[in-house]
Structures are given as structure tokens and as C-alpha cells.
A and B are shown apart, each in its own frame.
Chain A
Amino acid sequence: MSFDWIKLLGFIVTPLIASAVGFTYMGLSRKITARVQNRIGPGISQSFIDVVKLYSKKTAINHGLMQHMGPVFAITASITTLLFLPVIKDSIFFANFSFRGDLIFLIYIMVFGQLGMALGAGQTGNPNSAIGVSRGLSQMVGFKVPYVMALVAIMIHAKSTNLQEIIAVQDGFRNWMVFQMPLASLAGLLAYLGYMGYAPFDVPFAPAELASGPPSEFGGKYLALMMTSRSIFTFAKLVLFVDVFFGGASNFIELLIKTFLLYLFALFVGLVNPRFRTEQSIQFWWKWPTAIGALALLLVAWKG
């Protein structure tokens, strides 16, 4: 295997860009939320400022090894997910491992970080963390059902489990999965709301109720690393959904537009909705989204 410097550079730069985009989106979201609520809100760069401040903090406390490693788990999963995603179609620079970007692998590696985070949060001994984890995991069982249904339907449609091939199938506007497979996409997008964790599905992190839930005992470098991880992960999730449902992106601008629109979708849904209780959200996903997903599966199976 020839060693390609461009590739190595890609490995390093991709996460950096991802985190930059992620932080920007997070900043934007705060601004947009404020505007919707008729506030002025912080500047867009506020997220950057926050994370820089956290990184530069001199002291940090932990409650044991698992908490120490929790953020590392998280960032590992975020970056690995990103590296296996085809960020931009046919780009060598962003290719990384994406030629092996298997969907099922991605589904699983994405959990890796959440598990590590949950373990770290568990060790802090803060009841709010544990409650948050409990709610988060429960919700996951809820939205995973329509989510996987959508993905399976698409995999069957594309006759591939590889993301690059799935993107290849969606060549041209009309072949996007949203149009090819509207039902599956609908189910997938409803599940996507759960994935993003905005209202009405933000009960695991409810800031007012649980003091942000899992991360409530983290501070300093730990919180900084977690935020970085979260920014990368947010971007990775957006890219994944864009790749699967919206035909990927052939250049960076297209990618930004698509991901941002997708991001706005989650944000706006959240802004106009109150918060579901855990079992309500689970039951929500197990009803209509699951039914739609099942219908999509049936259709795809019927088409052969």
C-alpha cells in the first residue's frame, strides 16, 4: 500500500474542519433560538470562545479513571465515524477510510462514544448523570427502530451496504433517496430528530431539570474534549444523513448547504415543540415512524 501524504493530511484535517463546522452550527443554533424567542442571543463565535476557555482552564477534577477516559471514548468514536464517512463525493482529501464506510459498521461505531460517555458519566456518582443516561438509552431504543428500518430499506434499494455506493446510486437530483424512497426517508428523518437530541426529544439532557444530564459533573479539559467531540459528532451525523438521503455532496459548499438545512430542520422542530417524556417519545417512535418504516420495507421487498 503506497503511503499517500495527502491522505495522512486528510486524516488530520477532516476532524478539524468538522469541529469547526460543528462549533459554528452550535453557535448559529444559539443565535437562531434566541431570535425565535425574541432575544438577541450570543455571538456566533460563542461556542469557540467557550471551548477555548475550557481548554485553557488550569485545573480539573475527576471521580476516577472511567470519568477520565469517558471523553476520550467519545472523541474516538466521533473521529472514527467521521473518518469512515464519505464527506465529499470522490474527494481524495476527505476520503480517509470512506471506501469502507459500511453503514452497519457506522451505526455501531456511533454507539461506542455514547457508551464511553455514559460510563464516564456513571462514575461521577451524580444522580442527574445516571438519570440522563437512563433516559438517553431508553430513547435510543425508541428511535433506532424506524431509523434501522429506513436504513435497511435503503440498503436493499441500493443493493449495497457501502455508503459510497449508496451515494453513487443517488446520482442526479431525481435519484435522491428522499424522492426515490419517500417513506423510508420520512421514517429516517423522524428518527434523525431523536438522534439530534433537540426538543421534543431532549429529555436526557434537559438543562433545567437535570443540569444537562450526563455531562453535569464534567469540567475543564474534560468538558472541552466532550464539546469538541460533540461538534465533530454533530457534523458526522449530518453528513451521514445527507449521504444517505440527500445524495451526498460533490463539493464543500453543497455539503454545507445541505447539512445546514438539515440542521435547521431539527432546530426548528425543536423550537416549536415542548418536551416529550421518555416513554412518550419511545411510544411516538414505535407508532407512526415505525409503521412508515415498515411500509417502506414492505414496498422495497415487494419491488424485489
Chain B
Amino acid sequence: MEQLLNIPAILAIAFAGSILVFVTHLVLPRLRTAVVLLLTLVPAYLVWQLPVDSPMVYFSLGGFDLSWGTNPYSRLFSLLIAGIGVLSTIYSLAFMKNKARLGFFYLAFLATIAAMYGIVFSQDLLSLFFFWEIMTWSSFLLVIYYRFENQQAGIRYFVFSAVGAYALLTAIVYLYSFTGDLSLAATFRVIPQLSTTQLSWITVLFLLGFGVKSALMPMHVWAPDAYRSAPSPFTALFSGVLSKMGVFGMGLVLFKFMGGLEPGHIIREVLAWMGGITALLGTFYAVFQTDAKKLLAYSSIAQLGYIIVGLAIGTPMSVMAAIFLALMHGIFKSMLFMGVGSVFHQTGSLDLNELTGLIRRMPLSFVTVLMGIITVAGVPPLGGFVGKWLLYESLITSNHYFLVIVLFTSSTAAFLYLYRLIFSIFLGQEEREFDHIKEVSWVMWVPMLILAGMTLVTGILPGIFFGPIAEAMQYLGFPQIDWQMSVLFNPWGNQVDMLSVITSIATVFLLGLAFITWKNFRTTRYVTTKDIHTSGEMPTENENLTYAIDFYRPFERAAAPIFKYKVTRMYASFAENAEHLFDLLRHVYTGNAQTYALYVVIFLVILIVFSGWIFGIQI
């Protein structure tokens, strides 16, 4: 009985929590912090102690039989939600301090988390969609939280989400017309009986729906602005976890629903290539951003491209890579958004051309961002490397040669924006105007450093993720997968031992550090960043020589042909033309009473004249 109540209890607490916080904010603002903390920690704890295969909860709503439950796959994602959810909530406590409309903020924030729990626990398509939509509008509310910012971002986000959600809905009702039952179990049973065409349509619709949320190109245009406009604690959750709901759904569709789609099926290949192109173009766009959050937003799009490639290829190794990357992306991208958010919180700016030399002012944020970019870049020994390695090896061993090139190019280009991010914000010459900047309060840096620690741990011992992922993949229909705590290996038998890697790196690094610190310790001087020579001259105090504007102009020139076509512009012109058409159409309402009367008579005449044809003869 206790276990039976667990999932409903989690969802009830989580949803009631969002409303409770709203009320608390109105009635007793002092208690708000405590209530927020309590209402994120309690559901997170309950999620943590849920058994992997908790019994299903069945109930009926609106004439449909619904069910909730957990399985290894959903548990994996629920833990991601719980973890990042709690950390970003804690972070938000300090970030949002003294901001306006906190009740509204936490209402939407907690509702989003609750809806995501709902999505992963849903064992039927209706609850899935139900929570999916709640997640959409609650996150929409957060995207438009800063009211004076460009509302276009919010509407674009919403419209794309709506299109995606409706694709999902179409697929769901279409499936329902065959099954007559919305539960996942029944759906899985019926799917083998469908024809290939039907199956393909359903798959494509589902993928469209989930693809929008995971910002798959060309459905990504909402993402940069939406990520940019949302408050940073939420962006962390948004990019880190919310976008993973799309991945969650894709995994479900590609392996659970469409078991019939063997690896190499055209849909899989197309999806994989879309993911690859997303990864490539997302990275290239990120290189030219001058806004830190927008840069990270494009980076998110690109990283999700990798994940989608892995899922689409569908070999055991690639799926493992994809899910691993999904978890890693949840960790490192929320960490990066938090780090950049801290900078924004202290300086009020996200402009890479304006910020400079903050490393000594905000060392902990710097460490976070540093770890973050190393992870994103996929450089060993941090966790990002593990995911990338698995993905590349799986692509090579499954004969996706050109895809691997695309991904590789993308990840090489990723160094560009990553370096620019950290360089422009933290490195370069220090500015007088930033002298007063201090490190953020511990409430903000503790979550950041916890995540940074996670990237290191997963780099050395990726097995702590492999275990749950392997279980989840068994749920998805893969055979038992061998894994080891810290050794990666591919189907050809080649391997990388992360322990020897870390041994080597740590030993050399520590020795080198000891050497360079110990040697001439006394005579080594620290000088300011103004104490440099350029062409033999020293810059004066109010001169800033940091090279930050148009950082990659040569690259931009080289890559110019790629950016000739802008999909955003295409959508915009489509929307504009559609609106013109609509505008034209509404002129049928001429405003003249006589015209309307004429319509009536003409309609009547048409009906009578063509009655046989319209109504059939058999009256």
C-alpha cells in the first residue's frame, strides 16, 4: 500500500507544492524559502527511494484507463530530474532573491518539475501528453518571466511546442484508433500488427513531437531565444532536464514502440543525419554568439544533436552513449548555465564583448565553467569524454563513416565557442568597473561545485551511470549489456581504461604543478594584467586591450557559405505569408449587411442545386 501510494504522492506533493508556494508567497513571504526547499526536497527524496519496478497505479479519468509506474528507464530520468531539479532550486533561492513576482516564478518552476516527474512516470499516452502540455505552458510562463524582454521568444517557443505537442497528439489518437486503449503496455502489444506505412507515420509524428522539445533542427528556432530569456536557474533546468524529456520520448518511440524499425531503417538514418546536422550547425552558430547564454543555448542544441544521433543509430553501444550523453548534458549544461548565471547575477551582463577578467573576482564560478567546458569539449578525463568516445566508436563500428566526420567537425568547432565563453568572461585584462564584483553566495556555488564534482566522478568511474543505463536499455528491449566500472570498450574489442588515464593525467599534472610552484617560489611575482608588453609598450590603466570583439572573424569568413540560408528567416517569411493570407481571407466579412444576406441566399441555392451530390441520394 505504501508503495502504491508513492507515485501519486510524489505528483500530488509536487503539484500541490507549486500552488502552495504561490499561496505562501502571498500570505507569508518569509516562509517562502523554507517551503520551496521542502517541497522540492520531499518529492526528490520520494523519487530517490522509489523501487526500480514499483507496482503500477491504475485509475480511470475522463473515461480512459490510466496508469503510472516506474521502470528502470523512467527511473533514470526521474533521478536526473530530481537531482538537477533540487540543485537548480537551491541555486534559484539566492539567484532570485529580491526579485519581483517570486510566487509566480516558483509556481511555474515547481509545476515544471512536477510535470516532468509526471511525464516519466506515465505509463499511458494520455497522462504523458497531459503532463507534457503542463510542462510546456509552465515553462512558457518562465520563458516570459522577464516581462520587458522580447516577448517574441515566448510566443515562438509556445508555437513550436504547440506544433510538436499536436504532432504528438495526432500520433496518440491515431494509435488509439487501433488499440482502443491508451496504456503503453497495450500500445506495445498492438504495434506489431500495424502496417509499415501506419507505423512510419506514427513514428514520424512522435519524433516530430519529441524533436521539437529537444530542439532538433530544423525545429530548433525557438530554443536560443527561449533559453536566453528564461531566468538562469530555470535555463539550467530547461536545457539540462526539460530538453531531455524529448530524448526520453524518442528513446521510448524508437525502441519500445518501433521495435520493427531495425537499425538502418530509413527513418533512423534520416533522424541520425538530422541530429548530425543539428550538432554541426548548432556549434557553428554558437561560435558567433556574443551573448553568453545564447552561446550556451546553441551549444545545447548541438549537444542534443549528438544524443539524437546516438539514439537514432540504435546499436546497443550508441544508445548507451546517447543516454550517457543525455545524463552528462543534464549535468554539464545546467552547471554552465548556473556558472554564467552567477556572472549575470553579479555583473548584470551576459555580453561577451563587455565582460572581461573576472577570474580573480569569481574563482569558483570560473572553476565551474572550466570544468563545464572541458566536459562539453569531451576532453579526458572528465565525463564528457566517455560519452563522446562511446558515440564515435559506435558510429565507426556501425558503418556511419560520414556521420562521425560531421560530429567530429562539430566537436572540434565546439572548442572555439567554449574557449571564447571562458576567455571573454573570466580571462583577459581586468577592468576597473568589475573591481567590486564578488563571488556569489555559497547557496549558488555549492550546487555548481556539486555538479562539477559529478563531471569528474563520471569521468573516472563512468560505471556508476553504466549500471542504471544498462538496466534501462534492457527495459527498452536490448539484450544484457556488459559494462565495467571504468573501462570503455567497443564492439571491436578496443578499450580505454579511464583509471590509467586518470592516473597518468593526475600524476603528471600534480608533479608539474608541484614543480612549477615550488621552483623559484619566492621570486615568482604576480603582476596585474596591465603589466604586459605590446610592441614593447605597456598599456595604461584605462586602456583595455582584451581581444574579444569579433573573436572569430577569420573563421566567420571561412564558414560564411554555410550561413547563407537561415531557417529562422524561412519560418518568419512563412508565418508572414500565412498571416497575409489569413488577412486576405477575413475580407469575406465585408461588413455589408446585404452581402451577408447574399451569402445566405447563395448558400441556400447551392445546397438545393447540389443537394443530391452533397447529401447523397438516399434520403
User: Which residues of A does B touch, CB under 8 Å?
Assistant: 57-66, 68-69, 71-73, 75-76, 79-80, 83-84, 97, 100, 102, 104-105, 108-109, 111-112, 115, 118-119, 122-128, 130-131, 133-135, 137-138, 140-142, 144-145, 148-149, 152-153, 155-156, 159-162, 165, 211, 217, 220-222, 225, 277-279, 282-283, 286, 293-294, 297, 300-301
Neighbour of A148 across the interface among B408, B415, B545, B555, CB < 8 A: B408
Neighbour of A97 across the interface among B504, B512, B531, B534, CB < 8 A: B504
Which residues of chain A are near B528, meaning CB under 8 Å? 63
Distance in Å from the Cβ of A219 to the closest Cβ of chain B? 11
Which residues of chain A are near B557, meaning CB under 8 Å? 279
Interface mask (B505-534 → A, CB under 8 Å = 1, otherwise 0): 100110011011101100111111111111
Cα separation A137 to B513 with both chains bound (whole Å): 25
Neighbour of B501 across the interface among A71, A80, A152, A279, CB < 8 A: A80
Cα separation A59 to B526 with both chains bound (whole Å): 11
Neighbour of A69 across the interface among B374, B380, B409, B513, CB < 8 A: B513
Chain B CB within 10 A, most for which of A62, A63, A84, A124? A63
- Are A130 and B494 touching (Cβ within 8 A)? no
Interface flag for B599 (CB, 8 Å): no
Cα separation A72 to B512 with both chains bound (whole Å): 5
Distance in Å from the Cβ of A8 to the closest Cβ of chain B? 11
- Are B526 and A62 touching (Cβ within 8 A)? yes
- Are A125 and B401 touching (Cβ within 8 A)? no
Neighbour of A161 across the interface among B490, B530, B532, CB < 8 A: B490
Which residues of chain A are near B497, meaning CB under 8 Å? 97, 100
Q: List 16 A-B contacts (CB under 8 A).
A: A61-B527, A79-B504, A80-B504, A100-B500, A102-B494, A108-B389, A111-B379, A119-B427, A122-B428, A123-B359, A130-B551, A144-B409, A148-B404, A148-B405, A162-B494, A297-B405
Q: A108-B388, A134-B547, A278-B555 are known contacts. Are A66 and B359 too (CB-CB below 8 A)?
A: yes
Distance in Å from the Cβ of B360 to the closest Cβ of chain A? 6
- Are B428 and A130 touching (Cβ within 8 A)? yes
- Are A149 and B423 touching (Cβ within 8 A)? no
Neighbour of B405 across the interface among A73, A127, A145, A160, CB < 8 A: A145
- Are B416 and A137 touching (Cβ within 8 A)? yes
- Are B379 and A62 touching (Cβ within 8 A)? no
Q: How many B residues are at the interface, by size bracket?
A: 35 or more
Chain A CB within 10 A, most for which of B388, B415, B497? B415
**Which chain A residue shows the least CB distance to B517?**
A68
Distance in Å from the Cβ of A288 to the closest Cβ of chain B? 15
**Which chain B residue shows the least CB distance to A220?**
B520
- Are A115 and B374 touching (Cβ within 8 A)? yes
- Are A112 and B532 touching (Cβ within 8 A)? no
Neighbour of B532 across the interface among A73, A84, A126, CB < 8 A: A126
- Are B494 and A278 touching (Cβ within 8 A)? no
Q: A111-B377, A142-B558, A160-B492 are known contacts. Are A125 and B396 too (CB-CB below 8 A)?
A: no
- Are B415 and A115 touching (Cβ within 8 A)? yes
User: Which residues of B does A touch, CB under 8 Å?
Assistant: 357, 359-360, 363, 370, 374, 377-380, 385, 388-389, 392-393, 396, 399, 401-402, 404-405, 408-409, 412-413, 415-416, 419, 422-423, 427-430, 490, 492-497, 500-501, 504-505, 508-509, 512-513, 515-517, 519-520, 523-535, 545-548, 551-552, 554-555, 557-559
**Which chain A residue shows the least CB distance to B409?**
A145
Cα separation A119 to B526 with both chains bound (whole Å): 17
Which residues of chain B are near A293, meaning CB under 8 Å? 405
Cα separation A222 to B512 with both chains bound (whole Å): 11
Q: A62-B526, A63-B526, A125-B529 are known contacts. Are A138 and B552 too (CB-CB below 8 A)?
A: yes
Known: A64-B359, A115-B419. 12 other contacts (CB 8 A): A64-B360, A80-B508, A84-B501, A122-B419, A123-B359, A125-B428, A125-B532, A130-B547, A138-B552, A141-B416, A165-B494, A279-B557
**Which chain A residue shows the least CB distance to B422?**
A119
- Are B399 and A108 touching (Cβ within 8 A)? no
List 10 A-B pairs, minimum CB-CB distance, nearest first: A125-B529, A278-B554, A122-B427, A125-B429, A282-B558, A279-B558, A130-B547, A72-B512, A138-B555, A144-B412
**Which chain A residue shows the least CB distance to B418?**
A115
**Which chain A residue shows the least CB distance to B385?**
A108
Neighbour of B512 across the interface among A128, A165, A225, CB < 8 A: A225
- Are A75 and B554 touching (Cβ within 8 A)? no
- Are A138 and B554 touching (Cβ within 8 A)? yes
Which residues of chain A are near B515, meaning CB under 8 Å? 225
Q: A108-B378, A142-B558 are known contacts. Are A62 and B524 too (CB-CB below 8 A)?
A: yes
- Are A63 and B523 touching (Cβ within 8 A)? no
Which residues of chain B are near A160, meaning CB under 8 Å? 492-494
Cα separation A125 to B356 with both chains bound (whole Å): 10
Neighbour of B401 across the interface among A73, A108, A122, A297, CB < 8 A: A297
Which residues of chain A are near B546, meaning CB under 8 Å? 125, 127, 130
- Are A156 and B529 touching (Cβ within 8 A)? no
Distance in Å from the Cβ of B519 to the closest Cβ of chain A? 5
- Are B554 and A282 touching (Cβ within 8 A)? yes
- Are B555 and A60 touching (Cβ within 8 A)? no
- Are A161 and B527 touching (Cβ within 8 A)? no
